[in-house]
Amino acid sequence: MADQSGVQPLQFSCEGGLVLNQSAFTLQPGMALELVNFESDINGGYRRINGFSKWNTSVVPQTNSSSEAVLMAASYGLTEVIAARGERVYRSTNKTDKLNGAINNSVTTITVDATSGFTTTGTLLIGTEQITYTGVTTTTFTGCSRGANNTTAASHSDDAVVSQTWTSIDTGRTNATKFSFKRYNFTGTDKLLWTDGANRASFYDGSSVTDITHSSAPSAPSIAEVFQNHVFLSGDSNNPNEVFFSAPYLETDFSAASGAGSIAIDDTVVALKVFRDQLYIFGREKIFKLLGNTVADFQLQPVTRDLGCSSKHSVQELGGDIIFLAPDGLRTIAGTDKIGDVELGTISKPVQIKFDGLTSFDQIESVVVPTKTQYRIFFVNETDSVANTTGIIASLTQNGFVFSEIKGIKPACTDYDNERQPQTVLHGSFDGYVYLQESGNTFDGVAINGRYRSPDLTMGDAGIRKDMQRIIINYAPEASINASLFLRYDYESPDSTNPAQYVLNASDVLALYGVNTYGSTGTYGGQRTPLLRQPVEGSGFAVALRINDTAASAPYSLKGFQLEFGVGARR
């Protein structure tokens, strides 16, 4: 008989993500039963996500109430963001500089160290005073009007911080709902097109806003797209199944004589998305695609008549495909298009339980993190707190989609921009601010609660008691971390005795294998993915590992574990 008195190992890598649709006997050890605020690391393992911070420290001005959400936060050009709140639309950068010399409360030319990055006209914030300006030189703002927007003109000292703040560019958007928008460039000028479901579609060209008021254009569209040099508008409650398009290169001309027109489908239009020289038209129960270049050769073809899209704000392009929320979870358009029905396009089966309880799709939001080939969808309820708002992260890997859960981000609107360097991921919030995702180690000052739980591990035999000896953790901290390891026995039965937490922190990394500390904060000669050998206590027929963040912590990646145990008696 084999000697079972020695210590035996179980080693596994962290891979497979959050899986909630398999039994304890089919789950692989590297999968997770809980994976909150972690993501699939492009270098392997599960990485605690980055935080977010205010993109601009100034709140987007309200119209009537501080409870007004940001309805649009859209990247524009290389430095600006266009934001909508209440009945107005604003623009700003997040640039800051310092005064070069003190100023009194009446000067109209303001000198700073450098104006690079500021817009050529706009609004400044110094202390609590807002100042509008009409021109810039390399070091001055000219044509200044002091005490703008009901603030008070004041004197300011040398080196006072000068920030760009929000400048109104459009007003009168009564009863506006969440915006849909599209960046485009027909003739060399970058433009931003937007709709709000209650007013005329409009576009901004860097200097002014123009409403699309043509008599044949919809009066209150909620969906905007640009395809083959035409503006496409839809989602008007008066024509819910119709898609209108402008004349080529002429966003304000919707006359048939100029090449404009409309297309009707036998369903309510939910979303429009351009993909691979085709315009996909998502209905509530059907999906179509439009091919061609002009009204002369446009062809409408069905993709599927078996299901549609539940939320226009779920539709994103990711990794050479379109991902969207259908009534039964997340799907990809390539799978749907390929076979004419929908089964192959289903991707969210491992976490389907997270979608089954959805009752309202109005506040669904999504965004893509391009550098990580990652899709994030948020289940937003206006009455829930930020801390209790959840969502799903879908990371596209070589082995398909890997899922995790996100908690603590409550976006009212989102945007990402591939053209900016570094790539920009934004969300507007219900508190009136625009935030930059993938920024910092906290959720705007609030600690990120990262949680990982492994499957219940039986080491191949659920009937044998395992006497745990030690855990070897392979992880990659990016800086000082604050997290704890927990062991939970026998499916977390209340009858089981579980040991106290084991603390993971930066000193654990520095202590490994006689690593030397170089300077006060760095590690000289340290391993990139160290192995932490942690003696543990307790026994059980099954054991699960938990790791919880305990305070504000830098991101770190869990790469894998080795469990060392002695074999006990059979139950």
Helices (H), 332-432: 333-339, 353-356
Task: Characterise 525 by phi-psi region: left (phi > 0), alpha (psi -120 to 50), beta (else).
Answer: left
Cα separation of 18 and 5, whole Å?
35
Q: Report the pLDDT value the prediction gives residue 362, as an integer from 0 to 100.
A: 65
> Is the separation of the CB atoms in 115 and 123 below 8 Å?
no
- Look-up: residue for tokens 């937003």? 380
Q: Report the pLDDT value the prediction gives residue 345, as an integer from 0 to 100.
A: 63
Cα separation of 333 and 340, whole Å?
10
Q: Report the pLDDT value the prediction gives residue 418, as an integer from 0 to 100.
A: 85
The values of phi and psi at residue 218, to 5°, are: -65, 145
Q: Around Cβ 43, how many Cβ atoms within 10 Å?
A: 11
Structure token digits, residue 190: 């970058």
Cα separation of 288 and 308, whole Å?
10
Task: Characterise 491 by phi-psi region: left (phi > 0), alpha (psi -120 to 50), beta (else).
Answer: left
- For residue range 200-238, what is the model confidence (pLDDT) as tens digits? 999 999 999 999 999 999 999 999 999 999 999 999 999
Q: Which residues contact 562 (CB under 8 A, 6 or more apart)?
A: 9, 10, 11, 471, 472, 474
Is 394 strand, coil or helix?
strand
- Give every residue of the chain whose pLDDT is below 50, as ranges: 1-4, 339-344, 507-526
Q: Report the pLDDT value the prediction gives residue 337, as an integer from 0 to 100.
A: 59
- For residue range 345-382, what is the model confidence (pLDDT) as tens digits? 689 999 999 998 777 666 899 999 999 999 999 999 88
Cα separation of 194 and 216, whole Å?
18
Structure token digits, residue 229: 């040099």
Residue 138 burial (CB < 10 Å; 0-12/13-18/19+)?
Answer: exposed
Q: Report the pLDDT value the prediction gives residue 552, as an integer from 0 to 100.
A: 87
Residue 472 burial (CB < 10 Å; 0-12/13-18/19+)?
Answer: middle
